[in-house]
Structures are given as C-alpha cells and as structure tokens.
Homo-oligomer: A and B are copies of this chain.
Amino acid sequence: MSERAISKVCVIGLGSMGFGVALSLLRKGFRTSGYDINAETLARFSEAGGEAEENPAAAAKDADVVITVVVNGVQTESVLFGDNGAASGMATGGTILSFATMPPQLAEQLAASAYKLGLDYIDGPISGGAKRAAAGELTVMGSGSRKAFAHVRPVLDAIALKVYELGEKPGIGSSFKIVNQLLAGVHIAAACEAITFAKALGLDIGKVYEVITASAGNSWMFENRVPHILQGDYSPHSAVDIFNKDLGIVSDLGRDKKFPLPIASAALQMFIMTSAAGMGRDDDASIARLLASIADIDLPGVPKA
C-alpha cells in the first residue's frame, strides 16, 4: 500500500512549542501553514517562511495533516471543531495530530468527532520543551490507527526524535502522558522541598546537587530544575500553572476512577499554593521560592523576609 503523499502541513498554536514544531517542518521542506491568536507570533512565523492565516479553518485549507499545539483539551476542541475550526477546512482523508496533554476521555471524543468528518486522529501528547521542539527532537506519546501513523510518519520524523506508538485507540497516548506528568509534578515538588530543606539544614546546596544527582535520590526533574534554584533564575522554562493543569487532570482522573493519589495530591497542593502566592506564570521550580519565603530560608534570588 502506498501512503497518501503530504503536500501541506498546518500548525495551530505557535507558542514556544508550536513555533519550534513549525520551524522543524519548514527546515525539512514541508509547505507549512499556521495560525496563532497572537498577531506578532503569526508575523514571525510568516517571516520564517510559513503561510500565516487569519483563523484555523483558513490555515487548514487543503492541509493533509493538522497539528494542534495549544495548551489544553478545551482549546484543542475549539481550534479543531469550533467556529472557523481547522477540521472544517482540511483535505478529506487528512490526519489530525493533537499534541496537548488532556484527559484521555476528551481525546477519545475529539477522535470520534474527527472520524465523523472522514478525518483520522492521533492522540499524541509531546514532551521535551521548547529547545527540543525547535531542534525537531520531541518525544511523542501517541495512540491512533496504524494507517494514521503511517500517513504522518514523514511529519513525525521531521519533528520528533522518539515516537511511541502505544496503541490504536485515542486516549492511550494521553493516559501515558498523564502518568508521566504525575511523576514529573511530584518530582519537581520533591526537588524543591528537598533542596530548600537542605539549605535549612545549613548544607552547601551546590554540593547537594552534585551528590544527589549521583545517588539513589536523583530524578530527571531534580537534575533539570534544581539548577534554576541554584542560579535563582525563575524565568519560566515551564510554568507553575502548567502543572496545576496537568496534576489537575491527574486528580480528576483519580477521582473518576476511584483511585487514591495521596502523593500527587500533595504535590498539586504545592503548585496551587505557589500559584496562589502570585508565581503561577513563573518557572515551576518556584515551589522552592515559596518554601524559602515561608520558612525564611536564604536561597539565591529570594529576598529574605
């Protein structure tokens, strides 16, 4: 079976992740259209060689693949199936590639809506951050039909280093991502708690970082986020409110499945607390700042009470 050729790819949502995705596609020679609510972002996309359009439907016109890189499931639903939604403009037989982290049930619903329009759908939450998006090195935790994966393979090759095909049913990809986010969120909160506690014990926290990253207490997040704390730099690589959203999905899903999640719940409360203290848009390592200010601990870049 020869696969349907891809003559045009459309990216909806050109934030730090979506812009990187679009750049990777342009670099590989894909004709790439796009839409973002932010006019400046859209102008930058146009300068980079993209076809900037004024709404999702216009951007998706005759596109074989539409990639949604918006912040959550509700936005994904809106840009695909709302007024001037992308799905209405797509070429028949096209494939939607959804990258947002969302409740698995919503991913299933969006896929069902796509199928009704004769479109295919991959539930493919991504991870890797803005830098890896720009380098075409994302990780995709995807589920969808084999036909859909085969169709979008050249697109995935352009934007991702690692693509997990986790099952044929949309919702599975989102479930994997949510389990990852449960762990990631807990590990960030634990890293912030541990390093601020270490400072409270009078330890050299640079040395703590060195020892822990070589020990059984290490995590990917400890290794990645604690340097922000050591440098006192809370400009957002990934914001506190992203984990309020993702651990919120974890929490909802736990209640729905009647599955107790005591550790994830404690972590979620720390993200909520940090957001409530005015740091929702700052780097998620800001939980350390909150603890330092509560307990009057002297961390880099945190004013003493």
Contact = CB atoms under 8 A, between A and B. Distances in A.
Interface residues of A, number: 65
B216 A218 contact: no
A211 B261 contact: no
Interface string A168-198: 0000100110111111101101110111111
Contact of A219 (B218, B266, B295): B218
A216 B211 contact: no
Q: Could you say how many copies of this chain the assembly holds? A: 2
A179 B272 CA distance: 24
A104 to B, nearest CB: 7
Given A183-B219, A211-B166, A217-B183, A262 B270 contact: yes
A182 B197 contact: yes
A263 B127 contact: no
Contacts of A222: 183, 219
A212 interface: yes
A238 to B, nearest CB: 10
Contact of A257 (B200, B216, B254, B294): B200
Nearest to A273: B262
A144 to B, nearest CB: 16
Interface in A186-229: 186-187, 189-191, 193-198, 200-203, 207-208, 211-212, 214-222, 224
A178 B194 CA distance: 9
Contact of A187 (B139, B190, B195, B262): B190
Contact of A179 (B183, B208, B267): B208
A200 B104 CA distance: 13
